[in-house]
Amino acid sequence: MVYPNQECNRIENVLPDLENKPGNFIFLARHGQTDMNKAKVLQGRGINADLNADGIEEAKSLGEFLQNIPFNTVSSSTLRRAVQTASKALENIGVSENLSISTYTELEELSWGVLEGKNITDEPWASMYAETVQAWEQDKSYRPPGGESIRDVADRATKVLKDIAEKGGRFNLVVSHGRALRSILAATVDISSEPPIPNTALYILSWDGSKFSLIS
């Protein structure tokens, strides 16, 4: 995870030689905070919440961290929390003001089915959530009742990421969601555990024309 970074507030301080690295890059970020995030309520694909005040500030800070990266494209899930994050970040990046945001349903969050809208600190939802995450350790095709598997999400999202990486240019910002990012990272760079993905977390992937690698 490149961001948040407690020691550096600009990406050039974390990766000073990024522009000299080969390949095209996907800057893969999670959206900022919503009130449902704060309340531990699963949103998934079916709940389309807005950023709260803290989430807006997080998105602005992400943009400040990425200042002066010459982005060729900015893409987002169609859900409002992701689009708003991309928009606020873009306003603060500084060199990409004229870029528009392309939205993709394929970048939306995993559908949690019956768990959507439920507080995962309350029973029986807490147990069902824990059992679902544990089931994915053995079977990436497992679907919670009415929902998607992490393989479903990885399949739809990575197709779009590969297309962006091949056609978008060298620097591409993509805003998606927590479980979607975990699914993507597991499928593309073999991070199969539960990596930390706080709101506006940023991972950078490089594309060499055939595969992704994690930049850190």
Residues with catalytic function: 31, 109
Structure tokens at 128: 């069902």
Give the pair of three-digit tokens for residue 101: 């945001």
Instruction: Give which of 52, 48, 21 is closest to 35, Cα–Cα.
Output: 52
Residue with tokens 């994050």: 85
Residue 148 DSSP symbol? -
> How far is C-alpha 143 from the chain's CA centre?
21
- The torsion region of residue 113 among left (phi > 0), alpha (psi -120 to 50) and beta comes to left
